[in-house]
Structure 1
């Protein structure tokens, strides 16, 4: 398994597929499936490499099987923090330690950039992800924001890790 930065030469279609399959697996009982099924393929993953974040991938040979993105916090009130924005895997690669390798790479790079605090947001009902983040030293802060995905009101909670 190789973890490296995503480049313009990588297959953005394969990256978008990771986002789509990961969302449909992780959020199947949280986010309305009708919304996920109706989402255009080119909308998954957003503006890859054009979003002010560093994006990395986990490669099994030539196949990209996971992706993560991070950078300075997108939230003005947390501008002194680094932020892990995404970590997604193809469902068949979950449980193999790849998510942990992506997480460790994000943390290492953000700490190298001088961040002593790293935050992330997670859907409150995504208990699997919350356990994963807690395993990596993140603590729920009690901060939250209300969201609406696919017409369903949802809450995101903030996690923070201090060096």
Structure 2
């Protein structure tokens, strides 16, 4: 396993494929199939290089199998906090410790940038991810985001880690 920041020469379509396959697997019983099946190839390729974002890729035997993006908070009410925007793995690498290692790497990166509080949002029904975050020391906060994805009302719960 090897983790590093993305480089200009890294294939953004391969990184987007991790998002796509992960969403279709992890959210299968959470979001409508019609929505998940309609996610186009390369859907996330253009946002990977968003200004202010840091993106990591995780390799196993030379293949990109995971990715995570993070930044300073995009939410004004959490100014001064670090935010984990995403953390995704190819489905066949889930539940094998790769997510934990990637998460630890992201936490170390945000801590090195001086953030003493790190947060993320996770779908309320995504129990597998919630267990991972809780295992790594994140605590459930009181605030949520309510939105509609694919004609389904969903809630995203904020999790917080104090690193300072």
TM-score tier (shorter): over 0.9
Asked if the contact 2:17/2:42 (under 8 Å) is kept, the reply is no
Q: Does 1:68 align with 2:68?
A: yes
Displacement of 1:50 after TM fit?
2.4
The answer as to 2:93 corresponding to 1:93 is: yes
Greater CA deviation, 37-46 or 143-152? 37-46
* TM superposition shift of 1:112: 0.6
Alignment of 1:1-163 (within 5 A): 1-44=1-44, 46-163=46-163
Deviations for 1:78-108, whole angstroms, at most 9, x for unmatched residues? Answer: 0111011110000101122111111011100
TM-fit CA distance, 1:46:
4.7
SS at match of 1:157: strand
Q: 1:43 & 1:107 partners in 2: Cα distance?
A: 26
Q: Distance in 2 between matches of 1:24 and 1:34?
A: 11
SS in 1 for 2:24: helix
In structure 1, the gaps of 5 or more residues are none
How large is the Cα RMSD of the aligned pairs? 1.1
How many residues end up aligned between the 2 structures?
163
Are the aligned partners of 1:71 and 1:82 in contact in 2 as well (CA < 8 Å)? yes
Give the TM-score taking structure 2 as reference length.
0.95
TM-score normalised by length of structure 1: 0.96
- Contact kept, 8 Å, 1:19 with 1:45, in 2: the verdict is no
TM-superposed CA distance for 1:45, in Å, is 5.0
Conservation of the 8 A alpha-carbon contact between 1:7 and 1:49? no
